[in-house]
Every structure is written in structure tokens, then in C-alpha cells.
Chain A
Amino acid sequence: NAGVTQTPKFRILKIGQSMTLQCTQDMNHNYMYWYRQDPGMGLKLIYYSVGAGITDKGEVPNGYNVSRSTTEDFPLRLELAAPSQTSVYFCASSYLGAPSDGYTFGSGTRLTVV
């Protein structure tokens, strides 16, 4: 059972480039989330999804897009990368959702924009 798998683990982007961070879970979880973690700050929610075809903005959605075409996959798209998007990105999933159920996190993607 792989849990939540994120790829890539590391990436360096140039300003203005685009990329997609991949997230896949094999636990049949309906709820999926993208967080970013900056030094000295807590995890900030970027986008989340409560099921296939449904996505919603979190606290810091600007500069990002998501899609959820299947239960398993929740990719995060960065368009026109900016230095402010340098961060560690975590994908997470949950079976019952935040009021009831702990999250399972992926191992993270460390992104540097130069």
C-alpha cells in the first residue's frame, strides 16, 4: 500500500516557467489537499478537493491551479513560476475529511524558483 505519492521530490524552475506537481493516492480517499510550507510558517492550504470533479480554494490559491478528474489523482499546476512560490509542497488525503479523520501526507516536493 503506497499511500500518498508525490513527484517530483525536488525541482528547480526558472521564473516564468510552468510545471505540474503530481499527487496520487491509492487508499480510495475522497478528500485531497495541497499545502505549502515556508520556513517559520505553518502549513498553508492552497487547494482542496472533496471528490472527483470538485475543487475549492484554500488560503493561498493565487498562482496555482488544480484538477481532480479521478479519485486517485490531484495534480497541482504552477503557471508562470515566481520566486515567492519557492517552498515545500505537501499533498495529503483523508477518508472522512478534516472534522473526523487524520490526514495522510505525501513525502513532499521541494521547489526552488530562480
Chain B
Amino acid sequence: ILNVEQSPQSLHVQEGDSTNFTCSFPSSNFYALHWYRWETAKSPEALFVMTLNGDEKKKGRISATLNTKEGYSYLYIKGSQPEDSATYLCAYNFGNEKLTFGTGTRLTIIP
């Protein structure tokens, strides 16, 4: 079984501050790395699908980078807002139809 690890497990950030967290995955047989945003009582929502080493993707104040050689991806949130409070999931794909999900980073923005 391939492991996907996310850190930290939870994070409290003051409104207006920027933050980032990490997803680590096996560096062999890489095909894709997904990021999802999961608000409480809702369903996960796709943020990014990253496939190339060095990929950088951006959506508003949220961006992500990918290093497939060392097996990590960073998710950055600039100028955190209360609506950014959610669990952020990453998921690793190693070439078949299966995604292996991490357990998530639970982000709470303090007003």
C-alpha cells in the first residue's frame, strides 16, 4: 500500500495571514497529484490536478506546487479569510484509476 501523508493535521491561522501545508507521496510511478477542499457538511471539491514536476497552479488566493522527484506538494493560501476554513485533502495517483487520499489538513481561520 502506498502512503500519502499530510502535515500538519490541523492548523489555526489568523485572518489575513498566509499559510501553507504539505502533502508527501511516493516519488516512484507518479502520474498525478490532486488537491481537494472539503468544507464541513459538504462534499470535497476539486482544486487542482497536477501532473508535471515543477507544476505550479493557482486559483484566486490558493496556489500549489509540485516536486515529483522528492515526492511532495505544497498548498499555499495567501491572506487567509474565514471562508478558507476547511479540510484540505491531497490524493496521489500512480497510473491506474485509483486515488490514494491523505487524511487531510484541517484549517481554521481565526477572525
**Chain A residues with a Cβ under 8 A of chain B:** 4, 31, 33, 35, 40-45, 48, 50, 56, 58-59, 90, 97-108
Contacts and interface: CB of A to CB of B under 8 A. Distances in A.
Interface residues of B, number: 28
What are the nearest 8 A-B pairs in CB distance? Answer: A102-B46, A105-B43, A42-B101, A43-B101, A98-B93, A99-B31, A42-B103, A105-B44
B93 A99 contact: yes
Interface in B45-101: 45-49, 51, 89, 91, 93, 95-101
Given A103-B44, A108-B43, A41 B97 contact: no
B93 A42 contact: no
B51 A90 contact: no
Given A101-B49, A104-B46, A106-B43, A58 B103 contact: no
A48 B97 CA distance: 8
Contacts, number: 67
A99 to B, nearest CB: 4
A40 B49 contact: no
B43 A98 contact: no
Nearest to B99: A98
A103 B103 contact: no
B34 A102 contact: yes
A100 B97 contact: no
Contacts of B4: 42
B46 A42 contact: no
Contacts of B49: 100-102
A102 B36 CA distance: 9
A24 B93 CA distance: 24
Contacts of B1: 59
